[in-house]
Structure 1
Amino acid sequence: MKRALTEWPGLRPLPPRVPPLLRKVGAPPRLAAHLRLVHDVACELVEWVGRYSPGLVVDRSAVLFGAATHDIGKALHVAELSGPGGRHEKAGRALLLTHGVEPRLARFAATHGSWTGDGVTVEELLVSLADKVWKGKRVTDLEDLVVVRLADATGSERWEAFLALDEFLGTVAADAERRLAFQASFPVA
């Protein structure tokens, strides 16, 4: 676990309360590495959004905490670290609440896999987007929702916001193989 939380020194550190929480819930090293990678991409994403659309109100700390804990339920559903499944989402939210995490932050564990419902916040969209693009996966309907928020906040045309986001995400996705290799270097259990 220590190696998963400290190797690759260029990655931004997780929020201070997250590493002790990961240890407390017995998170496997691969999960810790995954959460670091998604958190790092979320950092890049909120920084880019701040530059591109300074008028878009984003709770940066919520996005970063959400990215750093979104899959924590996989500590309970370890098979979902290497295979499909959504049981970790509800379990992750409950786990975070049990450990004193505020509901406004624990929600990301339950919402990162779905972004089409009513009332989805820009923070939830950004956590979901970071969770996809870290591995080079592009999800058109998710990106389109972010484009709408960006265009509305900047007053630009949607195609302009699309081009800007597409260029940024292409840059992030270009490093996906290295991130995937880093995550795969840690055991699931």
Structure 2
Amino acid sequence: MTVPSADLLYQALNTQGEPPLRLLPPAAAEILSSLGAPPRLAAHLRAVHDVAVELTGWVRERHPGLAFDHDAVHFGAATHDVGKIRHPGELTGPGSAHEQAGRDLLLDHGFPPVLARFAATHANWDAPAVTIEDLLVATADKVWKDKRVPDLEERLARTLAGAARREPWEEFLALDDLLTRIGAAAAGRLAFQSAFPTRP
């Protein structure tokens, strides 16, 4: 018996997973449901969002005085690839058309630019004007599958060090330890994503 695609999307949004994955912010889950997102996309966004929550928790614990919008990071991670609903070929192949499409889609559905921007900035972390929030979303989008990008990690470490008036090398070592630990659970996240189909 074939499981209806709506049920598969529901499962991707709500199944616990191993390691257990946090649920998406309600607004993110609602737009994915209303647009009939491919179940694999929802599973991917759950995995990246889960890592983003871990990253922001670490930043808040390590830098309690640092002002940044952790809710925006969580939403950004939960929707960064939403444009792949309009460009489903980019679910399994290369392409960047989903970036602007995702931003436009979120804006069209009433989300403010400060939240919609992550759909476009998650792959442009080396642009001059990126914020710590952009860097955290971009990092989560890499390390969820244990992909390490030294230039991205160095930029995040330098940004954190500058905000906290610490030495960049000290921040980089602490960040490296965290990302190594997060990356160790990548196989489970990849298996969770792969369990769902790419078509809605």
Give the alignment partner of residue 2 of structure 1, picking from 5, 10, 27: 10
What is the CA-CA distance between 1:104 and the residue it aligns to? 0.5
- Bigger shift: 8-17 or 47-56? 8-17
Shift in Å, 1:135? 0.5
- The one of 87, 100, 103 equivalent to 1:93 is 103
Q: Which residue of structure 1 lines up, in the alignment, with residue 170 of structure 2?
A: 160
Corresponding residue to 1:70 among 74, 80, 84:
80
Q: Deviations over 1:73-125 (max 9, x none)?
A: 00111111111110000000000011111111000001100111121110000
Note if contact 1:29-1:186 (Cα within 8 Å) is conserved in structure 2. yes
Count residues with an aligned counterpart: 189
The counterpart of 1:34, out of the listed 44, 66, 90, is: 44
Taking structure 1 as the reference length, what is the TM-score of the superposition?
A: 0.97
Quote the residue 2:6 is aligned against.
none
Give the alignment of 1:20-169 within 5 angstroms.
20-169=30-179
Contact 1:55 1:153 in 2 (8 A): no
> Does the aligned pair in 2 maintain the 1:132–1:139 contact within 8 Å?
yes
- Out of 17-26 and 5-14, give the one that drifted further: 5-14
How far is 1:3 from its partner?
0.7
1:179 correspondence with 2:182: no
Letter in 1 for 2:143: V
Aligned residue identity for 1:122:
I
- Could you say what secondary structure the match of 1:117 adopts? coil
Deviation, structure 1 residue 176 = 0.5
Shift of 1:155: 2.0
| AA matched with 2:198 | V
**1:17 is aligned to 2:27:** yes
Q: CA deviation at 1:22?
A: 0.3
SS of 2:30's equivalent in the other structure is helix
Quote the sequence identity (%). 57
Taking the aligned partners of 1:146 and 1:56, their CA distance within structure 2 comes to 14
Q: What is the RMSD of the two structures over their aligned residues, measured on CA atoms?
A: 0.9
- Structure 1 residue runs of 5 or longer lacking an equivalent are none
Give the residue type in structure 1 aligned to 2:10.
K
Contact preservation (8 Å) 1:72, 1:109: yes
Contact 2:80–2:122 (8 Å) recurs in 1: yes
Letter in 2 for 1:92: G
Secondary structure at the counterpart of residue 141 of structure 2: helix
- Is the 8 Å Cα contact of residues 135 and 180 (structure 1) preserved in structure 2? yes
CA distance in 1, matches of 2:139, 2:101: 21
Assess if the C-alpha contact under 8 Å between 2:16 and 2:22 holds in 1: no
Structure 2 alignment gaps of length 5 or more: 1-8
